[in-house]
């Protein structure tokens, strides 16, 4: 009998005497070989794939002798969220505390954008444009649409500002705080080129800084201009990549934000350098309490709403983010998967492009077999926006039920009543980042009587 195991890792023969390096593991070796062959950094979509402290490192305590649970199917547990209560004449009313993050037309196909609008609308929440302007598909199918103002300003115009329900000034993105967008030539179709005013087929690099303002004092003036153009009717969000969340939150509030969107490093992207995705920014878990602290110190917690994104996968993640002080969460990668991205039904086609269902992240190449992250009309035609919308609606409602389940177990009649006291951490790192006790102890690393949290 041979010592080689025919069903070893990755389907290769394996021998117990072959020890894989922890440092130079097979992914590392592959990347070195790829870089040596191609001479350019790896670009991909998705979010950070490395292991990071995350919501799985937290647990809810639930109710017991001193906390009374709510009946799971009988007692009300509210999930509604009102955004934009600070300066705007109009507010955003969501039925659920989960929104759809900005994903561009260009990165996604027109039918995929339509499906996001359909699903979000069915579930009673908002969707968001992205770095490519506003399409009729998403405006027409989104009851609540947030229009992003990005450094590139592709397609920016006052008419779309006015027909948006809210405006999101994008300062940064969790997948790449300090970096601009990318859309490679395979996805710059005629329509995308026209919307972005670019030559067809080029590798588009968006600016990382806004062209007409620099720094928080300028941003305050920029926000005033947008409010004037829209007659102060639209809530204005400021989206920041998790980098220095305490200070960035305070500066965004000072600049006049109605809502802050805080995107952790697990947040998705359509196309970014791998080195950026995996090595820049803070894990989502590490930034929420800092932002909440900043809001609380300014007397703005719940007055300026906080939306947290970056690796939110299920109701447990959402509930934990809410318990740490967020008003809502936002999903991007998870929404794409709900639509059908990485569907095992396309296993053979993933194999043809050198990938596999569950691993596919080359969204920038425009070859997505599911027709979601592509501008290829034949691939895009595979995707049914009505069915996709229903799937997203199902997923959003499931997540919401999960949040309610956990909130009721903690005795909360509204998901916003969840609080850090409901949580413990499984690791010292998570305890320090989330500022909740290590499970079975009263120890919060970093907590002192002086710092007050």
Partner 1 sequence: MATATDSEVVDLAVTPLRELNQRLHDAATGGPRSWRIVNPNGAHAIAVGIDAEIDVTIAGHTGYYAAGMNKHATVTIEGNAGVGVGENIMSGRIHVKGNASQACAATGRGGLVVVDGNASSRCGISMKGVEIVVKGDIGHMSGFMAQSGTLVVCGDAGDALGDSIYETHIYVRGSVQGLGADCIEKELKEFHREELGRLLAAAGADATVDEFRRYGSARQLYTFTIDNAGAY
Residue 43 CB, nearest approach to partner 1 (Å): 8
- Which range in 199-207, 245-253, 365-373, 411-419 contacts partner 1 by CB under 8 A? 199-207
- Which range in 12-20, 202-210, 235-243, 294-302 contacts partner 1 by CB under 8 A? 202-210
List binders of partner 1 among 95-154 (CB under 8 A): 152-153
Residue 364 CB, nearest approach to partner 1 (Å): 11
Residue 157 within binding range of partner 1, rule CB under 8 A: yes
Candidate list 42, 224, 402, 429; residue touching partner 1; CB under 8 A: 224
Residue 231 within binding range of partner 1, rule CB under 8 A: yes
Candidate list 63, 156, 298, 428; residue touching partner 1; CB under 8 A: 156
How many residues sit close enough to partner 1 to count as binding (CB under 8 A)? 32
Q: Which 3-state string (H, E, C) describes the chain? A: CCCCECCCHHHCCECCCCCCCCCCCHHHHHHHHHHHHHCCCCEEEECCCCCCCCHHHEEECCCCCCCCCCCCCCCCCECCEEECCCCCCCCEEECCCEEECECCECCECHHHHHHHHHHHHHHCCCEECCCCCCCHHHHHHCCCEEEEECCCCCCCCHHHHHHCCEEEEECCCCCCCCCCCEECHHHCCHHHHHHHCCCCCCCEECCCCCCCCCHHHHHHHHHHHHHHHCCCCCCEEEEEECCCHHHHHHHHHHCCCCEEEEECCCCCEEEEEHHHHHHCCCCHHHHHHHHHHHHHHCCCECCEEEEEECCCCCHHHHHHHHHCCCCEEEECHHHHHHHCCCCHHHHHHHHHCCCCCCCCCCHHHCCCCCCCCCCCHHHHCCCCHHHHHHHHHHHHHHHHHHHHHHHHHCCCCEHHHCCHHHEEECCHHHHHHHCCCECCCCCCCCCCCCCCC
- Alpha-carbon span 131 to 334, nearest angstrom: 19
- Which range in 111-119, 224-232, 309-317, 398-406 contacts partner 1 by CB under 8 A? 224-232
* Closer residue to partner 1, CB minimum distance, 54 or 187: 187
* Closer residue to partner 1, CB minimum distance, 271 or 308: 271
Residue 185 within binding range of partner 1, rule CB under 8 A: yes
Candidate list 229, 351, 356, 381; residue touching partner 1; CB under 8 A: 229
List binders of partner 1 among 19-78 (CB under 8 A): 38-40
- Alpha-carbon span 274 to 162, nearest angstrom: 36
Candidate list 72, 140, 178, 199; residue touching partner 1; CB under 8 A: 199
* Closer residue to partner 1, CB minimum distance, 229 or 351: 229
- Which range in 8-16, 116-124, 205-213, 396-404 contacts partner 1 by CB under 8 A? 205-213
Residue 211 within binding range of partner 1, rule CB under 8 A: yes
Candidate list 42, 143, 203, 274; residue touching partner 1; CB under 8 A: 203
* Closer residue to partner 1, CB minimum distance, 227 or 239: 227
Candidate list 228, 348, 378, 442; residue touching partner 1; CB under 8 A: 228
Residue 425 CB, nearest approach to partner 1 (Å): 42
Write out the residues near partner 1 by the rule CB under 8 A. Answer: 38-40, 152-153, 156-158, 161, 184-185, 196-199, 202-203, 205, 207, 211-213, 218, 221-222, 224-225, 228-232
């Amino acid at each position: 009998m041979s010592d080689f195991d025919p069903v070893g890792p990755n389907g290769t023969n394996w021998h117990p005497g072959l020890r894989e390096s922890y440092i130079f593991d097979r992914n590392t070796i592959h990347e070195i070989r790829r870089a040596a062959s191609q001479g350019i950094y790896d670009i991909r979509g998705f979010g950070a794939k490395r292991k990071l402290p995350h919501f799985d490192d937290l647990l809810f305590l639930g109710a017991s002798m001193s906390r009374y649970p709510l009946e799971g199917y009988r007692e009300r547990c509210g999930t509604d969220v009102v955004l934009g209560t600070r300066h705007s004449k109009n507010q955003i009313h969501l039925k659920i505390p989960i929104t759809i993050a900005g994903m561009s037309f260009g990165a996604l196909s027109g039918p995929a954008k339509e499906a996001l609008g359909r699903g979000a609308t069915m579930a009673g929440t908002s969707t968001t444009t992205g770095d490519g302007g506003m399409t009729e598909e998403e405006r027409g199918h989104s009851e609540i649409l947030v229009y992003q103002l990005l450094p590139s300003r592709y397609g920016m115009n006052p008419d779309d500002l006015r027909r948006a329900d809210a405006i999101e000034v994008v300062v940064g993105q969790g997948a790449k705080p300090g970096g601009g967008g990318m859309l490679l030539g395979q996805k710059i179709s005629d329509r995308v080129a026209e919307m972005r005013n670019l030559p067809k087929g080029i590798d588009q690099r968006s600016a990382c800084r806004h062209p007409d303002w620099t720094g928080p004092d300028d941003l305050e003036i920029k926000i005033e201009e947008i409010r004037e153009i829209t007659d102060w009717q639209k809530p204005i969000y400021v989206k920041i990549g998790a980098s220095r969340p305490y200070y960035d939150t305070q500066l965004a509030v000072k600049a006049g934000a109605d809502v802050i969107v805080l995107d952790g490093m697990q947040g998705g992207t359509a196309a970014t350098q791998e080195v950026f995705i995996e090595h820049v920014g803070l894990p989502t878990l590490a930034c929420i309490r800092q932002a909440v602290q900043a809001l609380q110190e300014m007397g703005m917690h719940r007055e300026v709403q906080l939306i947290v994104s970056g690796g939110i996968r299920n109701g447990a993640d959402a509930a934990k983010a809410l318990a740490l002080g967020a008003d809502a969460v936002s999903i991007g990668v998870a929404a794409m998967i709900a639509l059908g991205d990485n569907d095992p039904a396309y296993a053979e086609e993933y194999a043809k492009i050198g990938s596999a269902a569950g691993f596919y992240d080359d969204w920038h190449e425009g070859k997505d077999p599911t027709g979601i992250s592509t501008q290829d009309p034949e691939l895009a035609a595979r995707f049914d926006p009505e069915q996709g919308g229903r799937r997203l609606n199902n997923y959003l409602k499931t997540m919401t039920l999960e949040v309610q389940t956990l909130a009721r177990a903690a005795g909360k009649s509204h998901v916003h009543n969840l609080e850090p006291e409901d949580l413990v951490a499984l690791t010292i790192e998570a305890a320090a980042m989330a500022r909740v006790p290590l499970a079975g102890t009263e120890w919060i690393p970093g907590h002192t009587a002086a710092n007050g949290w």
